[in-house]
Structure 1
């Protein structure tokens, strides 16, 4: 049986500190090396920030969940929200060679997520955005 943990968050930036602590606690409890948890935290911080800023344009308080599971040699995370449908994987790759003044705004965050995770997938199902991340463990 693979250990699973679920965290319910609200669309408030103060939740990012709670997210980081939860990830650290899960990682320590599952013997996951700090480097893996660090990369997961950076990616999830970016994605949760995007949910907080863009998924709920009505300005009301909403909640969404993050499921985390240790599966053999990897950690799987799934962000689930009922905000506006948005597939971040359809965002165009940023032009990293362009000078800063001519770069398009946005896109660097999801680029970073794609580069640091081993798998990233998205689906919209039953009124929910479901973004799944997989990070292989490098040790322990």
Structure 2
């Protein structure tokens, strides 16, 4: 197994509930050498993806929820807020810039209309990412 796989894990988070599910799911796979790249995508105006390093006020509640549920202080965490018109595209565009070695997420519950109109963002991430993608069950204990 590639020992660098869990070095820099990109975790896209949609909302506080998603942050909680993802923190619970990823916790068993982490060690003190892991860097977590916690990201949230906000609606952007430009055609491309914009990367804003640091904590964006809009995403602050999501980030705080993740840290509280994760319950670990020994990890390196990078906070990245992305701006883009399309969530999946923004995340995929940022992979190389962020030097992620793995992406991990829990699928979002989308209704049939959302999937029809916007496509399934999770499927796009799995299909189009050029790094390994770990998808957790949508319901984790």
Greater per-residue strand proportion:
1
Q: Would you call these one fold, judging by a TM-score over 0.5?
A: no
Larger radius of gyration: 1
TM-score, normalised to structure 1, is: 0.30
TM-score, normalised to structure 2, is: 0.30
